[in-house]
């Protein structure tokens, strides 16, 4: 059969068969939204999975206290441009979420879902989209426990002027924050996933021991190096940004970490050049010299791990796109969502952590 006949037959099928009939008989949940994300149709399997009847959801939007999608680390997706449906409508391209989403059911229980979105396009105009979903692969019990355990290690006693966003690429990751007033240590173990998370937890214990004892500032690098060497971890290292807040002054030391930024009340961004020292794990001597930084009232001090730039540069976003996200938003979750919007896909390739101290 030649290609022209194939095209004619396909057009006949498109014109003849009822898409709603097809969706209603799928073995996966499906719903159709218009460009404003208002639900127009809800199939039988969607009702079975979520417990919502069509009359409860048609005419509403996901964010109207219905599904309320969020990613595996609790970042809300509904109501902003990182929503998979919004991405499909905006780009006119299918969008498969490379990780399980969580949605709320009519019993308030959260479900793990595997989600794909397909735009409805005719004559180069997007009229809406279809979301297809099914039960996601159940996370192994130990992985779920590991994620909750690592979340429990994140400082819960940060002062009101400090904000932290921790978003691993997988269930657990190698980024971590140590906090013991007035000290902050943001560190990033090479790699990601379970092995990096285990080492990050051991480093946290090491930091707790060092900061519980009296030490001279210039000894810190060598104490970290000696303690890390004692863990007998082969071919691993971590970078760290050590910060001591003293009123409007910060004393900062970098062990191979990215330079932090100061963002003024007017949105001007200034990179803070920190005296470079080696990452911890290369068994090299450290000469710890702290850099003193004055931060003006109304400004924000922002530090982060390199996953921010790796994620964006992998998918073609520029450093200025990232700086625009830093400049435009004061809440770290909003900054993370803006960074995601600047990238064409949602697949995060490295752990991302943001620490912001406001003045």
HEC per residue, 115-166: EEEEEEEECCEEEEEEEEEEECCCCCHHHHHHHHHHHHHCCCCCCCCEEEEE
Quickly tell me which residue has 């003024």 as its tokens. 264
Same domain, 195 and 323: yes
Q: Does residue 243 contact residue 182 with C-beta atoms inside 8 Å?
A: no
How far apart CA 35 and CA 39 sit, in angstroms, is: 10
Pairing verdict, β 238-246 and 183-189: antiparallel
pLDDT digits (tens, 9 = 90+) for 55-89: 888 888 888 878 888 876 777 788 777 788 888 88
Q: Could you report the per-residue pLDDT of 282-300, keeping only the tens digit for each?
A: 999 998 789 999 999 999 9
pLDDT tens-digit map of 248-293: 899 999 999 999 999 999 999 999 998 889 999 999 999 878 999 9
pLDDT of residue 312: 64
What value does the mean pLDDT of the chain take? 85
Q: Is 101's pLDDT higher than 80?
A: no
Q: What pLDDT does residue 106 have?
A: 74
Q: Which residues of 155-176 are buried (b: 16+ CB within 10 A; e: fewer)?
A: eeebeeebbbbbbbbbbbbbbb
Boundary-marking domain end, from 97, 118, 135: 135
pLDDT in tens, 155-210: 999 999 999 999 888 878 899 999 999 999 999 999 877 888 889 999 999 999 99
Is residue 228 domain-shared with residue 273, that is, in the same domain? yes
* CATH number for position 99: 3.30.450.20
Domain boundary among 97, 113, 135: 135
| Rounded Cα–Cα distance for residues 339 and 347 (Å) | 12
Residues 114 and 260 reside in one and the same domain: no
CB atoms closer than 10 angstroms to residue 104:
19
The number of folded domains in the chain is 2
Residues facing 188 on adjacent strands: 175, 239
| 194 CB neighbour count, 10 Å cutoff | 16
89 with 202, same domain: the answer is no
Burial pattern 343-359, b for ≥16 Cβ within 10 A else e, equals bebbebebbbbbbbbbb
Domain boundary among 135, 154, 175: 135
Cβ atoms of 272 and 262 closer than 8 Å: yes
Per-residue pLDDT, 356: 97
Q: Which residues contact 264 (CB under 8 A, 6 or more apart)?
A: 270, 296, 298, 299
Tell me how far apart the alpha carbons of residues 84 and 93 are, in angstroms, rounded to a whole number. 11
- Interval 135-154: pLDDT, tens: 876 555 566 677 778 888 89
Same-domain pairing of 86 and 169? no
Bridge partners, residue 339, by sequence: none
Q: Which domain holds residue 72?
A: 3-135
Cα(224)–Cα(243) distance, rounded to whole angstroms? 15
Structure tokens at 226: 């000696």
pLDDT value of residue 345: 63
Do residues 100 and 45 touch, judged by C-beta distance below 8 A? Answer: no
């Amino acid at each position: 059969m030649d290609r022209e006949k194939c095209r004619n037959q396909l057009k006949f099928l498109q014109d003849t068969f009822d898409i709603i009939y097809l969706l209603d008989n799928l073995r996966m949940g499906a719903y159709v939204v218009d460009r404003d994300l208002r639900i127009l149709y809800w199939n039988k399997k969607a009702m079975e999975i979520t417990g919502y009847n069509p009359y409860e959801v048609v005419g509403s939007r996901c964010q109207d206290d219905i599904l309320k999608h969020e990613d595996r680390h609790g970042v809300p997706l509904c109501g902003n441009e990182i929503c998979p449906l919004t991405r499909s409508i905006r780009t006119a391209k299918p969008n498969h979420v490379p990780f399980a989403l969580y949605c709320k059911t009519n019993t308030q229980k959260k479900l793990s879902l595997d989600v794909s979105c397909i735009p409805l396009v005719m004559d180069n105009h997007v009229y809406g989209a279809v979301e297809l979903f099914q039960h996601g692969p159940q996370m192994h019990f130990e992985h779920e426990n590991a994620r909750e355990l690592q979340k429990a290690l994140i400082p819960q006693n940060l002062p009101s002027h400090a904000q932290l966003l921790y978003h691993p690429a997988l269930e657990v990751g190698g980024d971590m924050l140590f906090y013991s007033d007035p000290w902050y240590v943001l560190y990033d173990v090479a790699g990601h996933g379970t092995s990096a998370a285990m080492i990050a937890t051991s480093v946290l214990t090491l930091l707790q021991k060092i900061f519980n004892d009296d030490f001279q500032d210039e000894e810190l690098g060598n104490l970290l190096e000696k303690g890390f060497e004692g863990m007998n971890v082969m071919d691993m290292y971590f970078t760290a940004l050590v910060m001591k807040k003293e009123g409007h002054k910060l004393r900062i030391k970098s062990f191979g970490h990215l330079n932090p930024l100061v963002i003024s009340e007017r949105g001007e961004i200034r990179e803070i050049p920190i005296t470079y020292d080696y990452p911890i794990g290369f068994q090299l001597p450290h000469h710890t010299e702290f850099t003193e930084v004055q931060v003006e009232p109304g400004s924000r001090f922002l530090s982060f791990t390199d996953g921010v730039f790796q994620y964006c540069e992998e998918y073609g976003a520029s450093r200025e796109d990232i700086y625009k996200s830093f400049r435009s938003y004061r809440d770290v979750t909003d900054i993370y969502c803006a960074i995601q919007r600047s990238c064409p896909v949602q697949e995060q390739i490295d752990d991302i952590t943001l620490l912001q101290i406001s003045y």
